[in-house]
C-alpha cells in the first residue's frame, strides 16, 4: 500500500514550486462542521504548510452556492456531508475527475461512478431504540416494517434533515416513487414524531421520551463519548434503503487555481492519520482498508446497504422533499 504522508509532502512541495499552480491560500467549502473537523484542517496545515481558508455551511447550501458561482467560484475543494450534495455539483459539471490512485483508496460503491468525487467516511442509517420500551425480538429487519400499527406514536424522524431526505431519495431509487409515497403516508398515519435532527432524536430516545428513531449511527457514539454509557442502543437494519451507508466525500473543482494543493488535501483526507481520526473522534466509518471502525460497530463489510449509484441521489432529492411534504411530515 502507498505511504500517503510522503506523498502528501511531495504534493505540497510541488504545489509550492509549480509555476502553473497559484501558491495562494487553498479554499475549501466544507459541509462538515468546524466543531467536527476543525482539528483535521489544523493538522493538514501543520503537516503540509499549505494555508487553508474554510467556508463552513450545510452541504446543500454550499452545493447551491457552487452551482450559482459556476466557473467563477473561489472554491478549490468541496467537502460535503452527503452524496446528494456532491452529486448536484457533479451533475452541474463543476468537478474535475480525480486521479485513479486517489479513487482506488476507497471501495467503488462509496465514490462517484465517473470519478468526480471520492468518499472520505461513511455513516450508516440505523434505528436507535430504548430497550426498556422496545423488545429486541420486536426490532424490524427493514425500515419498511416501521409503518405497522405496533409503531403508532413510537417512532421519531427528522423530516427536514438532509440525511433523512437522502435516505428517502435512496428509497425512491431502490423501491420506486409510489412505494416511497405509501411508506411516508404510513409514517404520517402512524403519528411519527418529528424532531429537528439526528442529535435531538438520539437524546429523546436516550431520555425515554420516544421509543425509537431513525438516525445516523455515529450520533449515539458521540453522545456516549460525552456522557458515558447510555440506555439507548443502535439497531442496524438488515438491508434495503434503511441500511443505507452514506459517505461524506470530497471533489476537486475544475476551475481550481490551486489544483495540486487541492489534491494534496483530498489525499490527506484518505491518509491513515485522517481515517484514524474518523474512527476515533467522529465515530464514522473509515473507508480506507486497514483502518478499523470504533470497536462497538459492526465491520463495514458486514453492513448490507442497497446497491445504488450514490451520485444519483441528487437526481431525486427534490422529489424526496416533495413526497415528505405531501405526506404532511414537514
Domain, as residue range, for 188:
124-244+313-326
pLDDT digit string (tens) for 224-268? 999 999 999 999 999 899 999 999 999 999 999 999 999 999 999
pLDDT digit string (tens) for 126-138? 999 999 999 999 9
pLDDT reported for residue 3: 41
Indicate whether 18 pLDDT > 90: no
- Burial letters 199-223, b for 16+ CB under 10 A, else e: bbbbbbbbeeebbbbbbbbbbbbbb
- How far apart, in Å, are the Cα atoms of 308 and each of 82, 88, 98, 262, 269? 14, 16, 21, 28, 24
pLDDT digit string (tens) for 71-85? 999 999 999 999 999
For residue 262, give the nearest of 28, 13, 17 by alpha carbon: 28
Q: Does residue 306 lie in a domain region? A: no
- When pLDDT is cut at 50, 70 and 90, the band that residue 311 belongs to is confident
pLDDT digit string (tens) for 85-117? 999 999 999 999 999 999 999 999 999 999 999
Domains: count for the chain: 2
Residues in the chain: 330
Residues 96 and 133 in one domain: no
Q: Does residue 107 lie in a domain region? A: yes
Q: Does residue 307 lie in a domain region? A: no
Compute, in degrees rounded to 10, the torsion defined by CA atoms 15, 18, 23, 28: -40
Residues 210 and 318 in one domain: yes
- When pLDDT is cut at 50, 70 and 90, the band that residue 23 belongs to is low
**Environment class of 35 (CB within 10 Å of its CB; exposed 0-12, middle 13-18, buried 19+):** exposed
Contacts of 100 (CB under 8 A, 6+ apart): 115
pLDDT reported for residue 22: 54
As given in the structure block, the three cell numbers for residue 328 are: 404532511
Residues 293 and 251 in one domain: yes
Residues 170 and 287 in one domain: no
What is the rounded average pLDDT of the residues 123-128? 97
Residues 99 and 27 in one domain: yes
Residues 15 and 43 in one domain: yes
Residues 118 and 249 in one domain: yes
pLDDT digit string (tens) for 165-192? 999 999 999 999 999 999 999 999 999 9
Map 109-133 to HEC letters.
HHCCCCCCCEEEEEEEEEEEECCCC
Helix (H) or strand (E) holding 5: helix 4-17
Residues 152 and 297 in one domain: no
CATH of the domain at 59: 3.40.190.10
Residues 141 and 235 in one domain: yes
pLDDT reported for residue 71: 94
Q: Does residue 81 lie in a domain region? A: yes
Residues 238 and 288 in one domain: no
Residues 93 and 150 in one domain: no
Q: Does residue 193 lie in a domain region? A: yes
Residues 198 and 290 in one domain: no
Q: Does residue 308 lie in a domain region? A: no
Indicate whether 4 pLDDT > 90: no
Amino acid at each position: 500500500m502507498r505511504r500517503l504522508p510522503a506523498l502528501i509532502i511531495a504534493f505540497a512541495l510541488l504545489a509550492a514550486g509549480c509555476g502553473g499552480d497559484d501558491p495562494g491560500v487553498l479554499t475549501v467549502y466544507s459541509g462538515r462542521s468546524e466543531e467536527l473537523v476543525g482539528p483535521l484542517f489544523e493538522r493538514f496545515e501543520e503537516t503540509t504548510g499549505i494555508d487553508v481558508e474554510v467556508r463552513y455551511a450545510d452541504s446543500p447550501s454550499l452545493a447551491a452556492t457552487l452551482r450559482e458561482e459556476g466557473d467563477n467560484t473561489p472554491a478549490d475543494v468541496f467537502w460535503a456531508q452527503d452524496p446528494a450534495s456532491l452529486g448536484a455539483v457533479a451533475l452541474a459539471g463543476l468537478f474535475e475527475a480525480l486521479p485513479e490512485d486517489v479513487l482506488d483508496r476507497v471501495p467503488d460503491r462509496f465514490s462517484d461512478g465517473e470519478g468526480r468525487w471520492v468518499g472520505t467516511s461513511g455513516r450508516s442509517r440505523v434505528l436507535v431504540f430504548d430497550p426498556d420500551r422496545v423488545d429486541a425480538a420486536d426490532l424490524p429487519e427493514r425500515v419498511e416494517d416501521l409503518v405497522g400499527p405496533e409503531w403508532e406514536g413510537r417512532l421519531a424522524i427528522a423530516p427536514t434533515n438532509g440525511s433523512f431526505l437522502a435516505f428517502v431519495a435512496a428509497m425512491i431509487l431502490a423501491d420506486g416513487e409510489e412505494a416511497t409515497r405509501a411508506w411516508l403516508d404510513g409514517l404520517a398515519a402512524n403519528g411519527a414524531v418529528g424532531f429537528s435532527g439526528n442529535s435531538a432524536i438520539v437524546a429523546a430516545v436516550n431520555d425515554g421520551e420516544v421509543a425509537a428513531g431513525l438516525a445516523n449511527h455515529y450520533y449515539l457514539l458521540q453522545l456516549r463519548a460525552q456522557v458515558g454509557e447510555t440506555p439507548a442502543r443502535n439497531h442496524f437494519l438488515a438491508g434495503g434503503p434503511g441500511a443505507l451507508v452514506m459517505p461524506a466525500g470530497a471533489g476537486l473543482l475544475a476551475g481550481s487555481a490551486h489544483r495540486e494543493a487541492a489534491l494534496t488535501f483530498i489525499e490527506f483526507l484518505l491518509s491513515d492519520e485522517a481515517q484514524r481520526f474518523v474512527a476515533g473522534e467522529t465515530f464514522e466509518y473509515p473507508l480506507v482498508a486497514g483502518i478499523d471502525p470504533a470497536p462497538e460497530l459492526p465491520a463495514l463489510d458486514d453492513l448490507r446497504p442497497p446497491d445504488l449509484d450514490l451520485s444519483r441521489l441528487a437526481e431525486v432529492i427534490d422529489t424526496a422533499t416533495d413526497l415528505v411534504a405531501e405526506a404532511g411530515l414537514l
